[in-house]
Chain A
Amino acid sequence: MAQNETAEVLIDCQSLWKIFGDRSGAAMAAVAERGLTKTQVLQEFDCVVGVAAANLQVRRGEIFCIMGLSGSGKSTLIRMLNRLIAPSAGRVLVKDRDLAALSATELRQMRARHIGMVFQSVALLPHRTVLENAAFGLEVQGLPKPERLRTAEAALRKVGLGDWMQRYPSELSGGMQQRVGLARAIAADPEIILMDEPFSALDPLIRRQLQDEFRQLTKDLGKSAVFITHDLEEAIRIGDRIAIMKDGAIIQVGTAEEIVLDPADGYVADFVAGISRLHLVKAHSVMVPVADFLKSFPGRDIAGLLTTGPEADIDALIGLTMHSDDGAIAVVADGSVVGVVTTRNLLLGVKGTPAVAPDTGIARRA
């Protein structure tokens, strides 16, 4: 998102690698020297490349999604962000501090105060109540009991579990358990929350609900999040930016709209093929410049068109088009008309192709 370009970088990964196996050191050296592929590393060294040369920046206030199929290295990558897994090569800077340079105590403090984590398996302690679970992070930080329980209570209220605090995890549904996991993470008030497929095990309805709640909550609290998913729709619903991973490498990073309209390669294109553009593609991507519009429809009165903003999505544009006489809508930004969306542009947008050529077809044939 544009306003984020200037925000402080909270997590900075610089050409991160992770190679698993007994001879990972030798394999890493060989990769650096000879640039072996994943298959070659497996054949020569019997080592698995988990993450390969990953670069990414997560900025303050943004929700950064990492999307990829099973085995693409998402979990490995996110675990390097709080050093649950030590990288084979490359650096991770969190708030400008190199995780590798921290002492054990400093690393613990970094994890306790600045980087929260939510797991797919939820990881609740079965012998503790919901409240005690939510307070667990604060407990190991050494906060006095009344204080940590108060904070955990507030966190549980935020995720809508105010009435369940004295229950045990086994008495809760999967969705509620995941909320406890989220409450535990936000109770410690970290700047960054790492989430490894937190909603994957839930049924679709609960999942949608939690996605929306999570996004709202994260934005309300002003947190940043790295969110892993194998579901592109989920990434699009939740993420401000999305990174697509394949075989350990990040092959594209961008907003949902950028990725859908301009996939980096065939792999990404296949992924986005089935995604509905209705809420993704915005007016500014499908509009044509006023001059081009006038070239096709000379003498049309721009001022008489219905207007909308550049962030209006296709769904909204279709609604507007229904009310306009001639199917053309003016896109207005900062008080001036910056482009025009015609019905033809709209159809291209639904298909997922941005408005590249001037919209001259009708004029020529007419």
Chain B
Amino acid sequence: MSFAALRFSPGAVLAPFVDWLNANAHPLFAAISAVCEAVLNVIQGALLWPPALALIALVAAATLLSMGLRLAILAALSLGFCLIMGLWKESMETIALVTVAVALAVAIAFPLGVLASRRKSVEAVLRPILDIMQTVPPWVYLIPVVMIFSLGRVPALIATVVYGIPPMLRLTTLAFKQVPKDLLELGQAIGAPPRDILLKIELPAAKPTLLVGLNQCILLSLAMVVLAGLVGSGGLGGEVTRGLSRMEMGLGLRAGLAIVSVAVLLDRLTRGALQRGRRRPR
């Protein structure tokens, strides 16, 4: 027997499956597409509706009230930078995409993560899947998604959601496992209903680690959204791709710097929230 006969090609197995999905589940995917597009449009619309300067002022004011002067200045500077670079619309598109992707990733990862922290069997099933998801190079995700959803914002969104799930899920499980045993016992001993134990004991105790997970999820999603410029996500990723394909150094650099500035903004804001949560009880 030759080696060639032993060679296994996952693609050969997956491709017919994807074809089958395309042929038989098309209405489902079309519906998903439509919903995603609609949500993205709403958020993008909301971000782009006010004049850029007004939005910057609003964000800075909100940050000032909730997290202090330093972060407010940082927020204003990073958003202002995107505006100066002439990439305001693209930046907002990217932020909209990241926001929706993170919301979806959290909505999926959080309950699964909690479940995994409570049931060993769930964790045993999830762990290898997460390992694979985190080690496969991100652009590989793009292939099946594009095969199903073709080019555009929706495949970018879905690939980003898939990419953002593992860190959030892992840290959710960790966060809930770290909740002190005696606090859980307290909840039981005072006859608290399960909902109260979750909301009033576990969530506050898990919050710092959950915010770390959220921070990771946001940054990885941003990286993926940029990469998804390859499949027509638009936004800053689209500009980077354009710069690359046309060998326009200036455009690529501007877009790249705008991405850094968005990343810094999102990172510092989630960290700010994290520190605020830690500071109060001291």
Which residues of A line the B interface, CB within 8 A?
82, 84, 107-113, 115-117, 119, 121-123, 125-127, 136-137, 139-141, 168-171, 184, 188, 194
Q: Cβ of A188: which chain B residues have Cβ within 8 Å of it?
A: 190
Smallest CB gap from B207: residue in A: A127
Q: Cβ of A115: which chain B residues have Cβ within 8 Å of it?
A: 189
- In the complex, B280 has a CB within 8 A of chain A: yes
* Contact indicator B189/A82 (Cβ below 8 Å): yes
Complex partner residue of A111 from B182, B189, B282, CB under 8 angstroms: B189
* Contact indicator B185/A84 (Cβ below 8 Å): yes
B190-209 Cβ-contact flags toward A at 8 Å (1 or 0): 11110010001100110000
Q: Cβ of A119: which chain B residues have Cβ within 8 Å of it?
A: 182, 185-186
Which residues of B line the A interface, CB within 8 A?
180, 182-183, 185-193, 196, 200-201, 204-205, 280-282
Q: Which of A84, A127, A139, A194 has the most CB of B within 10 A?
A: A127
**Known contacts A108-B193, A126-B281, then 5 further A-B pairs from the complex at CB < 8 Å, ordered by chain A residue:** A84-B188, A109-B191, A117-B190, A137-B190, A168-B282
Q: Cβ of A82: which chain B residues have Cβ within 8 Å of it?
A: 189
Q: Cβ of A111: which chain B residues have Cβ within 8 Å of it?
A: 188-191
Q: Cβ of A122: which chain B residues have Cβ within 8 Å of it?
A: 182
Q: Which of B191, B193, B196, B201 has the most CB of A within 10 A?
A: B191
Name the distance in Å between B274's Cβ and chain A's nearest Cβ.
14
Q: Cβ of B192: which chain A residues have Cβ within 8 Å of it?
A: 108, 112, 140
Complex partner residue of A127 from B180, B185, B280, CB under 8 angstroms: B280
Name the distance in Å between A111's Cβ and chain B's nearest Cβ.
4
Q: Cβ of A126: which chain B residues have Cβ within 8 Å of it?
A: 281
Q: How far is the CA of A188 from the CA of B189 in the complex (A)?
A: 12
A-B contact pairs, 10 of them (CB 8 A): A84-B188, A110-B191, A112-B192, A117-B186, A125-B201, A127-B280, A127-B281, A140-B192, A140-B193, A168-B281
Chain B interface, DSSP helix/strand/loop, else mixed: helix
* Contact indicator A170/B281 (Cβ below 8 Å): yes
* Contact indicator B191/A127 (Cβ below 8 Å): no
Given contacts A123-B183, A170-B282, whether A136 and B191 have CB atoms under 8 Å apart is no
* Contact indicator A117/B189 (Cβ below 8 Å): yes
Smallest CB gap from B183: residue in A: A123
Q: How far is the CA of A132 from the CA of B132 in the complex (A)?
A: 45
Given contacts A111-B191, A125-B204, A170-B282, whether A140 and B183 have CB atoms under 8 Å apart is no
Q: Cβ of A139: which chain B residues have Cβ within 8 Å of it?
A: 196, 200
Q: How far is the CA of A184 from the CA of B185 in the complex (A)?
A: 14
* Contact indicator B191/A112 (Cβ below 8 Å): yes
Name the distance in Å between B92's Cβ and chain A's nearest Cβ.
35
Q: Cβ of B187: which chain A residues have Cβ within 8 Å of it?
A: 140
Given contacts A121-B182, A125-B204, whether A136 and B190 have CB atoms under 8 Å apart is yes
Q: How far is the CA of A337 from the CA of B226 in the complex (A)?
A: 98
Q: Cβ of A116: which chain B residues have Cβ within 8 Å of it?
A: 189-190
Q: Cβ of B280: which chain A residues have Cβ within 8 Å of it?
A: 127, 168
Q: Cβ of B193: which chain A residues have Cβ within 8 Å of it?
A: 108, 140
* Contact indicator A140/B196 (Cβ below 8 Å): yes
Name the distance in Å between A91's Cβ and chain B's nearest Cβ.
20
Q: How far is the CA of A347 from the CA of B125 in the complex (A)?
A: 71
* Contact indicator B282/A141 (Cβ below 8 Å): no
